[in-house]
Homo-oligomer: A and B are copies of this chain.
């Protein structure tokens, strides 16, 4: 693996999932692989799970980890040819090349603006790091994708499914603030690669990019969509067509125990209780969100392992 910025960077998904599950059983087996190798983690945005799980994954492999919150450094310019006489002190061209010399792998977290669709879709932060860095890049959630989360989700479903082809439903849920589409996008793309029967349900106006959803069935009737589900992944996202807008806060879309049926409940966390999902779901045995979060470590670790093996 050269970079891990999108689902398609995984060449053999079922092998990768199996490998992650093996790492979970024996996290320190490859502790020499990362010796004298450094992961630099760069944060443009807040992080809890991604930060801790990726740091832990790297250390399990014997890597050194260096952290940088970008606001501890300089505002970066991403445009070409600008006269940098405003608030940006350093160009990504220099920053990415320089950090590459202190790192063997660079991991970047950079959320979308949710205001400028074209800019967000260009993935200008992540892609400029890919363009100018001279070491592999890992996406710790970008404007449009969260592939480490999706890999943890795939590991979780693989571990917990009782069927050869489970029914998986991705359901939108209400949220007071505008959130990115990244988690939903990557989850859909990942499920399209797995042996699952995927359905998406959301209110009208919350259609995701057709380049992501492709032929996956979309049902605007949540109750109908949830019928006989084995896994229900709930997530809010803001409108993609009416870009970054909160169009709907209808709490009938909150997931309840009654709607969940016998399914397992998934969410990437952080989750707002009694807004996205009621307490009765999260506090039940059917919630697997804590296991999902645990798998973040092994998703990151298998990605780092494959990258280190390819160095």
Contact = CB atoms under 8 A, between A and B. Distances in A.
Interface of A: 27-28, 36, 38, 40, 43, 46-49, 51-53, 55-56, 59, 64, 66, 68-69, 72-74, 77, 80-86, 88-91, 93-95, 97-99, 101-103, 176, 269-275, 279, 282-283, 289-290, 293-294, 297
Given A48-B74, A52-B66, A84-B273, 10 more contacts: A38-B59, A48-B68, A49-B98, A59-B64, A77-B273, A81-B279, A82-B273, A83-B275, A91-B273, A102-B297
How many copies of the chain does the oligomer comprise? 3
Given A273-B82, A273-B84, A102 B52 contact: yes
Contact of A68 (B51, B99, B282): B51
Contacts of A283: 93
Contact of A53 (B36, B53, B74, B102): B102
Contacts of A36: 27-28
B52 A90 contact: no
Secondary structure of the A contact surface, majority rule: mixed
25 contacts: A38-B56, A40-B52, A43-B72, A46-B72, A47-B72, A48-B68, A51-B68, A52-B103, A53-B102, A56-B64, A56-B66, A56-B102, A80-B279, A81-B274, A84-B274, A89-B270, A90-B270, A91-B273, A94-B289, A94-B290, A95-B270, A97-B290, A97-B293, A101-B290, A101-B294
Nearest to A89: B270
Contacts of A83: 273-275
A89 B69 CA distance: 20
